[in-house]
Structure 1
Amino acid sequence: MALVMFDYDGVIVDSLDVFISRFSQACLENGFLGIKEPKDVISFFEGNVYETMISRGITESTIDKILKRYELLQNEQLTHLELFNGIGEALNKIAEKHHVYVITSNLSEATKQILNCNGIDCFKDVIGAEKEKSKIKKILSVISLHPGIPAYYVGDTKGDMIEGKHAGTKTIGVTWGWHTPEKIDEGNPDYLVNSPEELADLLVRG
């Protein structure tokens, strides 16, 4: 048995278009004008998204306002978000063998709503941005609950790979999400998989 922690956006749910639209709007409404095109949003995820925002001159209080506004805007689009094909089946297979969690930069309740609407109830917990903005700290907190077993972090961005490694996990990059395989590879993932089926095979059969 192992501990497997999953990013949410771009790994489980196909949310890129909705995220870019609503996040850009939330930033604009709160005075951050640095987003001109989709790639500007995606570039935030080459490291920790919140640390990147601070480095671009956004204060922590403004980030909190952006998050709250984004949550409201995202809730309007919840019914438009869909899981990636095959990921539900893969998650259930993985959960039969391992402890599974969601570690996300998104918000916990919105994440839980989408998972529940799609019949996904295999996760022990969903740990979102309102609990802690640092993915490294969130990953370490979950590892502390399951000491002595292998730990994996599954993500779709270069930043996910960097943060997972800093937290001491094996990292698995998925190629169906927000970053290209080439960009993910810059984060030196331990594994790179091209489909949910391949992900399940790696974690269930080893």
Structure 2
Amino acid sequence: MSASLRLILFDVDGTLVDSQAAIVGAMTDAFGSIGLPVPTRPEILSIVGLSLDHAMTRLAPQANVETQAALVEGYKSAYHQARIQAGAGHSPLYPGARATLEALNAVPEYLLGVATGKSQRGMDGLIEAHDLTCFVTRQVADQHPSKPHPSMILTAMAETGVTPEHTVMIGDTSFDMDMARAAGVRSIGVPWGYHPVDRIGADHVISSFADLLPLLNGLWKA
């Protein structure tokens, strides 16, 4: 394990990109296509960050396994088609996200990664659309149990050789913070995402991306 490297993990939806319109639209299509009542916008946003099978269990708890599986496939198809049509505008980066990623990536000892409820296909499409080549480790829903299980963070640390005290998880939901806690790493919450920031249980909270680099430098000053 390296004593000098630092691992900075980002959630994606609601943290790096504003995907709420895309998520709500795809979920609306998925439920509508099989004739189920569409959940409300707050209900849909409350499950962002979970793997799709877990999300559908929460959104359609009375549906049988086959129906929930159909919702998952309907969502994937609708989201994929909308992303192809819209390109980078499908899930735009939040203001300051790109500049912050570039600034962090310029620090030699900082390694960047993602830990996301997105699928591999969804993450690959997002990276291509926004030309995000800075992530050295990419942990997605296809490879892991759903958040808040710590598997994504534990695997990212194993891949990079970085210890828990030198790792942080940045996200917008309680799922991200609970995952960080379970993995034994510090958490940083952002207020522009999908869960109320005062209820997600983050160790630290930033008000804008401009606050992130100074905070990290302060945390790891010693």
Taking structure 1 as the reference length, the TM-score comes to 0.83
CA distance in 1, matches of 2:183, 2:28: 29
* SS of equivalent residue, structure 2 residue 27: helix
**What's 2:196 paired with?**
180
Q: Does 2:106 align with 1:96?
A: yes
Counterpart residue identity of residue 192, structure 1: V
Return the offset for 1:57: 4.8
* SS of equivalent residue, structure 1 residue 77: helix
CA distance in 1, matches of 2:28, 2:103: 36
CA distance in 2, matches of 1:77, 1:140: 32
Which structure has the larger Rg?
Answer: 2
Return the offset for 1:23: 2.0
Q: Percent identity?
A: 22
**What's 1:142 paired with?**
156
**What's 1:72 paired with?**
77
Q: How does 1:97-112 map to 2 (within 5 A)?
A: 97=107, 98-112=110-124
Aligned CA RMSD, in angstroms, stands at: 2.6
Residue of structure 2 aligned with 1:54, choices 29, 40, 57:
57
* SS of equivalent residue, structure 2 residue 202: coil
Return the offset for 1:89: 1.1
Q: Does 2:28 align with 1:24?
A: yes
- Go from structure 1 to structure 2 and tell me whether the alpha carbon gap of 1:122 and 1:61 turns closer, same or farther (over 3 Å shift): farther
CA distance in 2, matches of 1:140, 1:91: 22
Return the offset for 1:153: 0.8
**What's 1:151 paired with?**
167
Deviations along 1:125-144, one digit per CA (max 9) or x if unpaired, are 32221222423211111122
- Go from structure 1 to structure 2 and tell me whether the alpha carbon gap of 1:200 and 1:66 turns closer, same or farther (over 3 Å shift): farther
- Go from structure 1 to structure 2 and tell me whether the alpha carbon gap of 1:52 and 1:16 turns closer, same or farther (over 3 Å shift): closer
Return the offset for 1:118: 1.9
Unaligned runs of 5+ in 1: none
Q: Does 2:207 align with 1:194?
A: yes
Counterpart residue identity of residue 74, structure 2: R
Residue of structure 2 aligned with 1:163, choices 161, 169, 179:
179
Unaligned runs of 5+ in 2: none
- Go from structure 1 to structure 2 and tell me whether the alpha carbon gap of 1:88 and 1:37 turns closer, same or farther (over 3 Å shift): same
Counterpart residue identity of residue 81, structure 2: E
Residue of structure 2 aligned with 1:41, choices 41, 44, 63:
44
Return the offset for 1:30: 5.3
* SS of equivalent residue, structure 1 residue 125: strand
Return the offset for 1:58: 5.5
Counterpart residue identity of residue 167, structure 1: A
CA contact (8 A) 2:168 2:185 kept: yes
